[in-house]
Structure 1
Amino acid sequence: MAITNLNHFLQDYFIAHNCEIMDNTDGILTVQLTEEMDLALMNRPFYWHYINKMGNAGQPLQLTLITNPDKRAEKGDWIHFGSPRLQQIMNHLQEYERYTKLFQTIDTRTNTPLYPWLVINMKISFRGKQKKDDILSIGLQLVNGKMRLDMMRYLETIPLQSTISDYCFTISPLIKIKSGFSRIESLVLNYLEDQPKDWAKESLLALNEELDTLNHFYEELEENEQMEKERNEIKERYEPNITFHVINGGIFYLSE
């Protein structure tokens, strides 16, 4: 259910933003940015301000992203969960494209119903001795309650547009969005319950070892502010916890 293939996620992101994929081989993805994406990702505001002021056509850059650890020495940006470049992309999605409403493109001459799907893309963060992020994409049909995992991959196969096609009409949802989100949240919690717990046990073991070392170091001293500060830093570093938040989502009207 998690989008573990970061290369696919990045390819989908750039295709959705009308960037040409120049090459995608063995974990090295090269894209030709549009002006919009150059502005969003390449930190060249003065260049574009000058070009626009002069009335000239600018030259968006190409961007190479490396997701294969064995190729990280190649020329390009080594990108992984937690890397600054990936965080920049996530921030761009959150700031400008957090919610959307799209309709399936259908060429028809007969009345065709479109059914509402609530789609949520969510980042799950595991924090402890080791750190890991998963991205989940979940769809819920708001009429019959059907759920689909890896929903964004499925939507890639469907042409979408911002306006409804001729002869199509929408079916009113029977499940309210708030209730639908609660169902998706329950699915995520079940997903977390099914995940291996070894990482949490290792984190707790490391936490207790660090606290024992700290207590031994200060055993002949009275409790003080420095001790408490170091104890809190150790807990923050090793105490296992899981958080999740919505990256983006929307309502997609799809044929049956």
Structure 2
Amino acid sequence: MAITNLNKFLGEYFTANNCELLHNQDGILTIQLTEQMDRELMNRPFYWHYVKSTGYSGEPMKLTLITNPEKRENQGEWIHFGSPRLQQIINQLKTNERNTKLFQVVETNKNTPLYPWLVINIKISYIGKQKKDEVFSIGLHLVNGVMKLEMMDKLQQIPLKLTISDYCYPISPMIKLKSGYLRIQSIIDDYIENQLHEWAEQSLLTLDEEIQMLNYFYSGETDTVQEQKEKELAEMKKRYEPSITYHVINGGVFYLTEDTLKE
């Protein structure tokens, strides 16, 4: 993650997480944390457990971060590239980026429904003599079951935010998230199964040739080198045996107007 302006990055980060910026001037940034951000950043699990058990709502902390080296003697926490606090924020950001819920920004003065789309970004890896990756972005309408490809390209053209716009309301999904993911997974499985896999055949052919050479090289050898032969054989198989894997890069639920993705 490349950060060129630390103060700007921090301001945008806390604003995006619904925190109020109480002060942001000359490299000194004071933030009123939300309960969620307090829980994630301030390491006060005992406090939150206590106040919740007593029925109180609790009071999130204020956090002052100093990015200006000339102001580091001020009251506040000196934060810089490589500091534990910045690493904590980056880790929290990476974790939350894997799963998100966003709403389309809608300017309206009448009740407007927003429909849920499950969007999954998946990377397929073809592993063998040659390695190749493919990335798919698939969206599933969680009410009517319509599925679309290249969803991230489409979403980049749509203004989105963490909170729902005035006069808008979310439609409850008819398709559960787990069922929706299984539908998307089925599409990926069918895609892989229906491809031609000459690359796998070439990998197996190369593996066979390498094994023959290995057997020739070790022919007549005593049992004392058998362990080395088995080790090299295992490395060959690891290098050339074809396999296909895929994993979810990230995903989320996006609430969009009914006509947003109609073509």
Same fold judged by TM-score > 0.5? Answer: yes
C-alpha spacing 1:205/1:38, structure 2 compared with 1 (3 Å): farther
User: Aligned partners of 2:7 and 2:100: how far apart in 1?
Assistant: 18
SS at match of 1:148: strand
SS at match of 1:247: strand
AA aligned to 1:242 is: I
* Mapping 1:11-22, distance limit 5 Å: none
SS at match of 1:210: helix
C-alpha spacing 1:107/1:248, structure 2 compared with 1 (3 Å): same
Tell me the C-alpha RMSD between the 2 structures: 3.0
SS at match of 2:100: strand
AA aligned to 1:157 is: Q
TM-superposition CA deviations, 1:66-122 (whole Å, max 9, x none)? xxxxxxxxxxxxxxxxxxxxxxxxx99854511110000000111111111111011
- Structure 1 residue corresponding to 2:255, chosen from 250, 253, 256: 253
AA aligned to 2:233 is: R
Percentage identity across aligned positions? 55
Q: 1:244: which partner in 2?
A: 246
The reply on whether 1:124 has 2:160 as its aligned counterpart is no
AA aligned to 1:55 is: K
- State whether residues 93 and 247 of structure 1, in contact with CA within 8 Å, keep that contact through their aligned partners in structure 2: no
SS at match of 2:231: helix
The reply on whether 1:205 has 2:211 as its aligned counterpart is no
User: Aligned partners of 2:8 and 2:124: how far apart in 1?
Assistant: 26
Q: 1:217: which partner in 2?
A: 217
Q: 1:35: which partner in 2?
A: 6
Q: 1:232: which partner in 2?
A: 234
The range that moved more, 93-102 or 226-235, is: 93-102
Calculate the TM-score normalised by the size of structure 1.
Answer: 0.66
TM-superposition CA deviations, 1:200-219 (whole Å, max 9, x none)? 11101111100111011112
AA aligned to 1:197 is: H
Q: 2:31: which partner in 1?
A: none
- Specify every segment of 5 or more residues in structure 2 that has no aligned partner in the other structure, as ranges: 11-64, 73-78, 82-90, 259-263
User: Aligned partners of 1:191 and 1:92: how far apart in 2?
Assistant: 34
- State whether residues 138 and 150 of structure 1, in contact with CA within 8 Å, keep that contact through their aligned partners in structure 2: yes
TM-superposition CA deviations, 1:156-187 (whole Å, max 9, x none)? 11111110011111111010000000000001
Tell me how far 1:194 sits from its aligned partner. Answer: 2.9
TM-superposition CA deviations, 1:114-159 (whole Å, max 9, x none)? 1111110111111100011111101001101110101000111111
The reply on whether 1:54 has 2:56 as its aligned counterpart is no
SS at match of 1:157: coil
User: Aligned partners of 2:98 and 2:7: how far apart in 1?
Assistant: 17
User: Aligned partners of 1:169 and 1:217: how far apart in 2?
Assistant: 71
User: Aligned partners of 1:158 and 1:239: how far apart in 2?
Assistant: 43
User: Aligned partners of 1:92 and 1:194: how far apart in 2?
Assistant: 39
TM-superposition CA deviations, 1:31-73 (whole Å, max 9, x none)? 994438989xxxxxxxxx99544338x9x9xxxxxxxxxxxxx
Question: What is the number of equivalent residue pairs in this alignment?
Answer: 188
Calculate the TM-score normalised by the size of structure 2.
Answer: 0.64
- State whether residues 129 and 237 of structure 1, in contact with CA within 8 Å, keep that contact through their aligned partners in structure 2: yes
Structure number with bigger Rg: 2
Tell me how far 1:240 sits from its aligned partner. Answer: 0.4
Q: 2:112: which partner in 1?
A: 112
- Specify every segment of 5 or more residues in structure 1 that has no aligned partner in the other structure, as ranges: 1-13, 15-30, 40-48, 61-90
